[in-house]
Amino acid sequence: MQHGSYSRRDFIRQASLGMGMAFIGMESMAMFSPSGSESAASLPGSSAAVPPKKLGIALVGLGGYAGGQLAPALQKTQHCYLAGIVTGTPQKAKDWKEAYKLKDKDIYNYSTFDQIRDNPDIDIIYVVLPNSMHAEYVVRAARAGKHVICEKPMAITVEECDRMIAACKEAGKMLSIGYRLHFEPHNLEMRRLREQREFGALKHVVADDGMSDAEGWRLDKQLAGGGPLMDVGIYCVQGARYTTGLEPIAVTAKEGPKKDPVKFKSVEESLTWQMEFPGGITADCRTSYSEYMNRLRAEAEKGWFELEPAYGYSGIEGKTSKGPMNFPQVNQQALQMDDFAKAIMEGRPTPVPGEMGRQDVKILQAIYRSMETGKRVEI
Instruction: Please state the separation of Cα 191 from the chain's center in Å.
Output: 16
Question: Does the annotation count 126 as an active-site position?
Answer: no
Cβ contact 225:131 at 8 Å: yes
Catalytic residue among 235, 242, 311, 368: 235
Give the pairing type, strands 147-150 and 175-177. Answer: parallel
Q: Are the C-beta atoms of residues 185 and 328 closer than 8 Å to each other?
A: yes
Question: CA-CA distance, 222 to 267, in Å (whole number)?
Answer: 10
Angstrom CA distances, 281 to 82, 84, 206, 242, 312, stand at 43, 45, 11, 13, 26
Active-site residue, 65 included: no
Give CA–CA dist 274/294, Å, rounded. Answer: 17
C-alpha to C-alpha distance for 21 and 192, rounded to whole angstroms = 10
Q: Name the catalytic one among 146, 152, 173, 342.
A: 152
For residue 71, the one-letter residue type is: A
Residue 82's SS3 state is strand
Nearest to 58 by CA among 46, 69, 70, 43: 70
Instruction: Please state, in angstroms and rounded to a whole number, the distance separating the CA atoms of residues 248 and 24.
Output: 12
Catalytic residue numbers read 152, 235
